[in-house]
Amino acid sequence: KESYLALGAASPHVVYLKILFRDRHLSGAKVTRWYAGKRFPMHDSEEDYVPSIEEMVYLDQPFDFTQLSLEQLEIEKLKLEIALRQEEIRKVRLDRRALEHMNAAAAAADKECDNVIHKVHVPKSHDPVQYVAGEALRDLDDPDVPVMLLDLDQLENQMKQWKDLLPRVIPYYAVKCNPDPMLVKTLYRLGSRFDCATVNEMRLVESILSAEMGAADAQDINKMMSSDVVYANPTKLPSHLVGARDLGVELLVADSASEIAKIAHYHPKAKLLLRLACVDNSAQCPMSAKFGASLGVTVTVLLEEAMNHGLNVVGVSFHVGSGCSDIHSLTKALVDAREVFDAAASRYGLKLSVLDIGGGFQGVDKEGSPVTFKSMSTVVNSLLDTLFPNPDEVQVIAEPGRYFACSPCALITKIYLKNIVVSAASKLPEVACSAGISDEDPMDGGSSSTSSDELGERKLPSMTRLYLNDGVYGSFNCILYDHQEVWPEPLHKEAKARGTQDAANPTHVLFGPTCDGFDTIMNGVTHLPEMDIGDHLLWRNMGAYTTAAATSFNGFDTPIYWCYRTTATTT
């Protein structure tokens, strides 16, 4: 009778299993991986086929096939055939999903980027964003879905400011912040490269780069991806690592020994950046509790681990937290990075050549704060000149997301329901009453059953509930996940300035559209004038971490983008 399996050879990274037809017994001993990429070779000419890494599926433990009886071997053969079939099904599904995603991304890019860029002539006496909002609503026939305005001129202004203030630092836009195809494509045209966290973000970038460059050859596209993308997520799914490798992405970030081992297995030709942890207590969204290694671990463990796996360590990365407002955090991170550069040279003879200073750059300077983009840029430039004085030896990159995406975008929401609720008395604490918050249940509209004699009567103004077509399951998820402070202004109506209240105005509560009572955007708003059904609210600086994480919960649509450029008129 024929036997079914025999062992193949080993490479430095992979043990391969080949399928041969031999007499009665197996040659070789133990293996750790099944060959699962092809059907059984049926001819001797196919014996030398070597599967790639992703064409493997793991055994639970090594085994010695020479000890199996023919009956046991038959069972193992059936197991292998099942594994092969399951792997084929999995790969077909993955390929189908990848194709669908790429087609959808390409279609979205074509629709958003090539077909609709509106040119708006803004009268000199008008607020540009307010005026453009009116034009967008007229163009879209006042839709029931929320509208996100994207000002391409402001996007250009942000890039110009970056190049003026940080001329040595190459921006790699953080796609996760806002993956809108028009925004990504415009940034590419302005000279940005890209920080991607997943293979799907890489595919979006690839579709845009391919369309822009007209590159039909896969090798040419891979070269572009190699130079224009950093895979900066320190914790990567194996399938995403394989996808990055196949797309040509070479620059990867790691912050642990296990991640380094994973990269060595799936992407052994990667260029590695070791990520340092930072002091980021003042950041809008701290990250070092989850990502980054200490200076000591980076020098004593990660460098050695990478060397042991034969990986090419090219530099250091860090991230001071999204929306950082502490210059001292940035200063310490740069000093620590210099120490890693020196340790790599003295201990391992490595000449590191890439410094990734991460993100954290604010999208809009906070009023009254001494920390501005300009002041932070001054510190960065000074430290780079001191710690990394030779630009020919060290390439400096960064991962700005909020900086580019925040200010070019403004959200238009529509009021589709108004409900005025009056309460005679309150059992709320003094602080709640002073804020103008009703004591009634927000879901049933009922008032307190507690008597005024028990708690002391407190007259409250009426509460006006406004229901908007966007909420915390949509763009306003930024309130929960990004700790943003949002501020509505009425479209084409007078209102108090930001940060002020007016007791003479109605007290508003702004709700989102879903059936969840938690879907509340703002409470106790008194700067708005009387608002009616069909009126609109404008929310500026809404491009960062808003639509990127929006969902269609309850079947409600996420915002549609309306992209524009402006010219001023003399009247």
Q: What is the DSSP letter of 293?
A: B
Same domain flag for 308 and 441: no
Exposure letters 131-162 (e unless 16+ CB within 10 A, then b): bbbbbbbeeeeebebbbbbbbbebbbebbeeb
How far apart are alpha carbons 295 and 307 in whole angstroms? 17
**Six token digits for residue 545:** 């971490």
Which long-range CB contacts under 8 A does 302-307 form with residues at least 24 apart? 302/254, 302/255, 302/256, 302/257, 302/260, 302/274, 303/274, 303/340, 303/343, 303/344, 303/347, 303/348, 303/350, 304/348, 305/257, 305/260, 305/261, 306/254, 306/260, 306/272, 306/274, 307/348
Residue 339 dihedral angles phi and psi, to the nearest 5°: -65, -40
**Active-site amino acid positions:** 515
Is residue 244, in this structure, part of any structural domain at all? yes
Same domain flag for 171 and 295: yes
Residues composing the chain: 571
How far apart are alpha carbons 126 and 119 in whole angstroms? 16
Is residue 141, in this structure, part of any structural domain at all? no
Exposure letters 195-231 (e unless 16+ CB within 10 A, then b): bbbbbbbbbbbbbbbbbeeebeeeeebbebbeebbbb
Same domain flag for 357 and 435: no
Is residue 146, in this structure, part of any structural domain at all? no
Beta carbons of 278 and 319 less than 8 angstroms apart: yes
Q: Which of 70, 92, 114 is the last residue of a domain?
A: 92
The C-alpha R_g of the chain, in whole angstroms, comes to 29
Is residue 166, in this structure, part of any structural domain at all? yes
How far apart are alpha carbons 98 and 188 in whole angstroms? 23
pLDDT at 67: 59
pLDDT in tens, the chain (571 residues): 233 333 333 333 333 343 333 333 333 333 333 333 333 333 344 444 444 443 343 333 444 555 567 777 778 778 777 877 877 787 777 777 666 666 666 555 545 444 589 999 999 889 999 999 999 999 999 999 999 999 999 999 999 999 999 999 999 999 999 999 999 999 999 999 999 999 999 999 999 988 887 755 667 788 889 999 999 999 999 999 999 999 999 999 999 999 999 999 999 999 999 999 987 656 556 667 788 899 999 999 999 999 999 999 999 999 987 655 677 888 899 999 999 999 999 999 999 999 999 998 988 988 877 788 999 999 999 999 999 999 999 999 999 999 999 999 999 999 999 999 876 544 444 333 333 333 444 434 444 333 334 434 444 457 899 999 999 999 999 999 988 999 999 998 876 666 565 666 778 999 999 999 999 999 999 899 999 999 999 999 999 999 999 999 999 999 999 999 998 665 5
Helix (H) or strand (E) holding 398: strand 395-398
pLDDT at 24: 32
Residue 59 dihedral angles phi and psi, to the nearest 5°: -80, 155
At residue 322's C-alpha, the angle toward residues 316 and 323, to 5°, is: 125
CA-to-CA separations, 567 to 124, 131, 132, 153, 161, in angstroms, rounded: 9, 12, 11, 10, 20
Same domain flag for 428 and 354: no
Same domain flag for 196 and 249: yes
How far apart are alpha carbons 420 and 441 in whole angstroms? 14
Is residue 173, in this structure, part of any structural domain at all? yes
Beta carbons of 407 and 415 less than 8 angstroms apart: no
Q: Which of 405, 434, 455 is the last residue of a domain?
A: 405
Beta carbons of 280 and 329 less than 8 angstroms apart: yes
Same domain flag for 393 and 485: no
How far apart are alpha carbons 427 and 451 in whole angstroms? 9
Same domain flag for 437 and 539: yes
Is residue 485, in this structure, part of any structural domain at all? yes
Same domain flag for 56 and 158: no
* CB-CB neighbours of 302 under 10 Å: 23
Same domain flag for 236 and 208: yes
pLDDT at 166: 98
Among candidates 50, 95, 34, 13, which has minimal Cα distance to 262?
Answer: 13
Owning domain of residue 438: 409-568
- 167-217 per-position pLDDT tens digit: 999 999 999 999 999 999 999 999 999 999 999 999 999 999 888 877 556
pLDDT at 217: 64
Is residue 1, in this structure, part of any structural domain at all? no
Same domain flag for 299 and 371: yes
Beta-bridge partner residues of 315: 273, 354
**Six token digits for residue 30:** 């133990």
Say how many domains are in the chain.
3
How far apart are alpha carbons 401 and 409 in whole angstroms? 13
At residue 425's C-alpha, the angle toward residues 422 and 428, to 5°, is: 105
pLDDT at 431: 34
Beta-bridge partner residues of 324: none
Q: What is the DSSP letter of 2?
A: B
Q: Which of 380, 405, 430 is the last residue of a domain?
A: 405
| Single-letter residue type at 164 | D
Contacts of 287 by beta carbon, 8 Å cutoff, 6+ apart:
278, 280, 319, 321, 322
CATH number assigned to the domain comprising residue 425: 2.40.37.10
Same domain flag for 356 and 219: yes
pLDDT at 515: 96
Among candidates 361, 252, 348, which has minimal Cα distance to 305?
Answer: 348
Is residue 132, in this structure, part of any structural domain at all? no
Coil vs helix vs strand at 170: strand
Among candidates 521, 442, 465, 461, which has minimal Cα distance to 488?
Answer: 521
Same domain flag for 361 and 414: no
Per DSSP bridges, beta strands 520-525 and 507-511 are: antiparallel
Which long-range CB contacts under 8 A does 565-568 form with residues at least 24 apart? 565/117, 565/118, 565/119, 565/120, 565/151, 565/152, 565/153, 566/119, 566/120, 566/121, 566/122, 566/128, 566/132, 566/151, 566/153, 567/119, 567/120, 567/121, 567/122, 568/121, 568/122, 568/123, 568/124
